[in-house]
């Protein structure tokens, strides 16, 4: 039963990391920027979700509110900050890294602003269903209705995303702009807007990750919440495992990371909570610096 | 005159790539532009399609000044540019590469019709429609690049060295297709080529560019017969 438990916990956490990784990959593919503020933007979106939950008392309304809020914030960040920085930092020693450093600054700004608006204390978001484990043959699992719901919702969202990417013109424009911006422009695609759209999608995806990370954890939200630090680190590691360029890679990276962390905590030591993700990251960078799915073949999705 | 370039000057930083170039290409004309490496041919095409901003001069297309317009706006005015080096996206399938060409029209039905049209021009693409573009041969990729441009229903087609790296037999086939398309679709074509003889043979108008300046502009056949052009560019 321990084995099953560990597996299910790992998979659930993994889907949330995968969402975060997807949002980092979406941003990377749109603008070639590693967005360290992604978790900060997810935090802000989750605060929007919190406002909706407390007013409307429905998690299922709060989730799209958080997603729309996250999409708008991300789109604004891209239009106001990133677009200018990418255009202007073309020479000198910080060319290329300027937008990345800017996202680090943005992370700090978002945290401070959140603390100013919502205060430093823990706010509570109540999940849509119970997080008490299922009971099978008088044994209570850690796996709960909430975790099942998260699992299903994330899988549905991933399915929707993959349909958007593979079957629609918007998806084609997103992929073309990522792979070959010049050919995309010559085909009549307004690449600047497609980039903004990529960020918006990333913001919405990150918002879902933030909401679920909060309710899947202890249900509380604060500007310097450990859950969000973990989300930043894990999303980033999962994206790197996936090669940073591949959506499928991000999903697999998230699941692999979730499972690895879950098994290490269960069978090695629960004291390794904060070190395990980093050890996994370093090991993978040593073995395959391009990421496990960093090969060209994985750039399909 | 359909395409009218006058006194066009383009710089790469401090270097002058094109200087005071004037060209007029009437509707339905296939113009071949030849010249050695670094003559400024690619720069000229990139300026015409809006990828590069000129320093000076004017470009008129169908009576409208088009300098300052972006590529995505120029595609909508009928200008399609097939850039150098088999400009296809290897990660996408043949069908997706083609759909890309018609994406701005936002009309699925027209897009399907155009794919059928391209498949009838290049049957090989029709057979490989579901394959990823990186599984295609060099010649097939060039066909795909031209096919993508055709998908946009262009009136002015800018082709940058379609013969690059292709076997002689395939080059002949591509050139013949370009000639046929020009006539059948009443296109205006500006074909930039290192393969000077092959390009001039199918062209109506010949333009010789050297070090960013026009050194000769005449009927293509007249250029082929011109001893100076023969010695410098045709190699006999």
Residues of B near A (Cβ–Cβ under 8 Å) read: 49, 51, 70-72, 75-76, 80-81, 83, 87-92, 96, 99-101, 103-104, 106, 148, 152
Give the whole-number percent of chain B exceeding pLDDT 70. 99
Give the whole-number percent of chain A exceeding pLDDT 70. 97
3-state secondary structure B185-205: CCCEEEEEECCHHHHHHHCCE
Tell me if B149 is assigned to some domain: no
How close does chain B come to A230, measured CA to CA in Å?
A: 33
**Pairwise CB contact (< 8 Å): B87 & A191:** no
Tell me if B68 is assigned to some domain: yes
Any bridge partners for residue A136, and if so which? A139
Which residues of chain B form beta strands (DSSP E)? 3-12, 15-25, 30-34, 56-61, 64-65, 79-82, 156-160, 188-193, 205-210, 213-219
Would you say B205 and B25 are in contact if contact means Cβ atoms under 8 Å apart?
yes
**ipTM value:** 0.93
Residue of A142 and A202 predicted with greater confidence = A202
Residue indicated by tokens 């590691």: A237
**Pairwise CB contact (< 8 Å): A190 & B72:** yes
Ordered by start, the domain boundaries in chain A are: 2-228
Of all residues in chain B, what percent are helix, strand and coil, respectively (each to 5)? 40, 25, 30
Paired tokens of A99:
């937008």
Q: Measured between CB atoms, which of A179, A188, A191 is closest to B89? A: A179
What residues 163-182 of chain A have any CB closer than 8 A to a CB of chain B? 169, 172-173, 175-176, 179-180, 182
Mean of pLDDT over chain A: 88
Tell me if B131 is assigned to some domain: no
H helix and E strand count, chain B: 10, 10
Q: B67, B73, B61, B69: which is closest to B23 by C-alpha?
A: B61
Buried b / exposed e along A216-253 (16+ C-beta atoms within 10 A): bbebebbbebebbebbbbbbbbbbbbbbbbbbbbbbbb
Q: A219, A44, A56, A46: which is closest to A125 by C-alpha?
A: A219
Residue B104 to residues B61, B77, B90, B200: CA-CA distances in angstroms?
Answer: 20, 11, 20, 33
Tell me if B96 is assigned to some domain: no
How close does chain B come to A14, measured CA to CA in Å?
A: 27
Tell me if B128 is assigned to some domain: no
Q: What per-residue confidence (pLDDT) applies to B45?
A: 96
∠ CA B49-B52-B58, nearest 5°, is 75
Tell me if B47 is assigned to some domain: yes
**Pairwise CB contact (< 8 Å): B100 & A299:** no
In chain A, whose CA is at the least distance from the CA of B82?
A186
Q: Measured between CB atoms, which of A189, A191, A300 is closest to B91? A: A300
B105-143 pLDDT, tens digit per residue, is 888 899 999 999 999 999 999 999 999 999 999 999 999
Residue of B228 and A92 predicted with greater confidence = B228
Cα separation, A256 vs A13, whole angstroms: 10
For the ranges A49-63, A138-152, B199-213, which has the lowest average pLDDT?
Answer: A138-152
Q: What per-residue confidence (pLDDT) applies to A284?
A: 82
C-beta atoms surrounding A51 within 10 Å: 17
Q: What per-residue confidence (pLDDT) applies to A299?
A: 44
Give the whole-number percent of chain A exceeding pLDDT 90. 54
**Residues of chain A contacting residue B99, judged by C-beta atoms under 8 Å apart:** 169, 172
- Can you give the CATH number for the domain in which B23 is found? 3.40.50.300
Residue A299 to residues A27, A159, A235, A293, B198: CA-CA distances in angstroms?
Answer: 15, 17, 19, 8, 38
How close does chain B come to A233, measured CA to CA in Å?
A: 29
Q: What per-residue confidence (pLDDT) applies to A296?
A: 47
User: How many domains does the structure of chain B reveal?
Assistant: 1
Averages of pLDDT over each 10 residues, chain B, 236 residues: 91 92 95 91 95 95 94 96 90 96 92 95 95 94 95 96 92 95 95 94 96 94 91 80
**Pairwise CB contact (< 8 Å): A186 & B71:** yes
Tell me if B120 is assigned to some domain: no
Tell me if B79 is assigned to some domain: yes
Helices (H), chain A: 2-31, 38-56, 59-76, 83-88, 98-118, 145-167, 169-179, 181-186, 191-216, 226-241, 247-267, 276-287
**pLDDT(A203) > 60:** yes
- State which residues form the domain around B59: 3-87+155-234
For the ranges A91-105, A281-295, B55-69, which has the lowest average pLDDT?
Answer: A281-295
Q: Across the A/B interface, how many CB contacts are shorter than 8 Å?
A: 66
* DSSP, res B231: I
In chain A, whose CA is at the least distance from the CA of B77?
A188
Q: B7, B29, B9: which is closest to B18 by C-alpha?
A: B9
- Contacts for B183-187 with beta carbons within 8 Å, 24 or more apart? B183/B28, B185/B150, B186/B27, B186/B28, B187/B28, B187/B30, B187/B154, B187/B155, B187/B156, B187/B157
Q: What per-residue confidence (pLDDT) applies to B1?
A: 54
């Amino acid at each position: 039963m321990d084995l099953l438990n560990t597996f299910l916990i790992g998979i659930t956490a993994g889907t949330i990391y995968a969402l975060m990784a997807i949002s980092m990959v979406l941003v990377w593919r749109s603008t070639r920027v590693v967005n360290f503020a992604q978790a900060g933007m997810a935090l802000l979106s989750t605060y929007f979700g919190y406002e909706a939950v407390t007013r409307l008392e429905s998690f299922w309304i709060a989730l799209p509110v958080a997603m729309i809020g996250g999409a708008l914030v991300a789109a604004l960040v891209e239009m106001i900050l990133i677009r200018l920085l990418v255009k202007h930092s073309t020479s000198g020693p910080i060319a290329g890294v300027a937008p990345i450093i800017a996202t680090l600054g943005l992370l700090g700004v978002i945290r401070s602003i959140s603390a100013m608006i919502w205060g430093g204390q823990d706010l509570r978001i109540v999940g849509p269903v119970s997080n008490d484990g299922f009971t099978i043959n008088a044994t209570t699992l850690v796996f709960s209705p909430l975790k099942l719901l998260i699992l299903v919702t994330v899988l549905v969202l991933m399915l929707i995303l993959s349909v958007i990417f593979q079957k629609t013109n918007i998806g084609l424009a997103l992929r073309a702009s990522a792979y070959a911006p010049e050919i995309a422009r010559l085909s009549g695609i307004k690449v600047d807007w497609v980039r903004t759209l990529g960020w918006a999608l990333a913001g919405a995806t990150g918002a879902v990750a933030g909401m679920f990370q909060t309710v899947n954890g202890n249900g509380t939200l604060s500007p310097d919440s450990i859950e969000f630090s973990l989300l930043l680190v894990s999303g980033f590691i999962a994206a790197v495992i996936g090669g940073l360029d591949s959506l499928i890679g991000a999903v697999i990276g998230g699941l692999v990371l979730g499972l690895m962390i879950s098994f290490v905590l269960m069978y090695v030591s629960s004291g390794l909570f904060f070190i395990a993700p980093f050890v996994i990251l370093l090991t993978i960078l040593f073995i395959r610096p391009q990421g496990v799915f960093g090969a060209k073949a994985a750039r399909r999705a | 005159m359909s395409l009218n370039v006058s006194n066009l000057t383009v710089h790469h930083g401090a270097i002058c790539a094109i200087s005071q170039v004037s060209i007029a290409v009437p509707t339905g004309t296939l113009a071949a532009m030849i010249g050695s490496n670094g003559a400024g041919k690619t720069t000229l095409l990139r300026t015409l399609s809006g990828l590069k901003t000129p320093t000076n001069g004017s470009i008129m297309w169908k009576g409208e000044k088009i300098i300052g317009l972006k590529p995505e706006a120029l595609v909508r005015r009928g200008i399609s540019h097939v850039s150098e080096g088999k400009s296809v996206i290897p990660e996408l399938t043949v069908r997706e590469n083609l759909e890309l060409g018609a994406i701005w029209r936002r009309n699925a039905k027209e897009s399907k019709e155009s794919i059928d049209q391209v498949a009838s021009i290049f049957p090989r693409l029709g057979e490989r429609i579901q394959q990823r573009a990186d599984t295609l041969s060099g010649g097939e990729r060039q066909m795909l690049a031209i096919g993508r441009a055709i998908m946009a229903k262009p009136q002015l087609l800018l082709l940058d060295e379609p013969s690059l790296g292709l076997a002689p037999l395939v080059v002949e086939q591509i050139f013949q297709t370009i000639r046929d398309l020009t006539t059948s679709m009443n296109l205006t074509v500006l074909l930039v080529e290192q393969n000077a003889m092959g390009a001039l043979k199918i062209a109506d108008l010949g333009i010789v560019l050297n070090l960013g300046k026009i050194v000769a502009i005449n009927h293509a056949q007249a250029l082929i017969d011109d001893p100076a052009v023969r010695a410098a560019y045709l190699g006999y």
